[in-house]
Amino acid sequence: MKSLFSVAFTSALLFAFCAAAPAKNVTATAPSPLTCGDPSDAVPLYFMEIAGQDIYYATGIGFVTTLVGDLAYTFLGIAARVFTTQELSTVPLFHLQNDQTSDNFYTISATDRDLALENGWGGAGIAAYIYPSQICGSVPLYGLYQSVDTIHFYTINETTYDAMLAGTGGWADEGIAGYVLDLNPCAAD
């Protein structure tokens, strides 16, 4: 129950304050009602981990609670804001799992999804809907991969991204996985 309270409290705090802080070196087009999803429909994309084994991203608080409470995952926070249903200009963020390596991979590319499926990954469905390009006040969701522990990691924080690439942890750049909404729900308002 403590984990559920922590997740709920963190989410409430995130959405309670609207002190917009622009992302570093990011220029995005202004939202347009003709091309953008409704930002009020966006939900937190939570992330949690089993240290050195797996990092998992999910939108459903019930599922997050199960991972944290029953399956020994550690709640790390909120990675971004995404949509759980298709909105204007969004595309599916496919979720794939590799049961042999306990890795989770997320992509908007149907080609990458199909290649992963051909190479033994299992399809876990659609994790969320995000933008394929930087529109509507979105920010990049950077992807990294660490081959020693076979772990994918995604972040909107450019400082974290740069530090992981420059560090000694063996992280490799996988480019931008897609574009998501900033953690601050008021950043694009």
Is residue 16's pLDDT more than 80? Answer: no
The model's confidence at residue 58, banded by pLDDT at 50, 70 and 90, is very high
Mean pLDDT lowest among 3-17, 23-37, 104-118, 171-185: 3-17
Q: Which of 34, 59, 40 is nearest to 135 (CA)?
A: 34
pLDDT (mean) for 35-40: 93
Is residue 126's pLDDT more than 80? Answer: yes
3-state secondary structure the chain: CHHHHHHHHHHHHHHHCCCCCCCCCCCCCCCCCCCCCCHHHCEEEEEEEECCCEEEEECCHHHHHHHHHHCCCEEEEEEEEEECCCCCCCEEEEEEEECCCCEEEEECCHHHHHHHHHCCCEEEEEEEEEECCCCCCEEEEEEEEECCCCEEEEECCHHHHHHHHHCCCCEEEEEEEEEEECCCCCCCC
pLDDT score, position 13: 40
The model's confidence at residue 127, banded by pLDDT at 50, 70 and 90, is very high
| pLDDT single digits (tens) 66-80 | 889 888 899 999 999
Tokens of 8: 């709920």
What pTM was computed for the model?
0.81
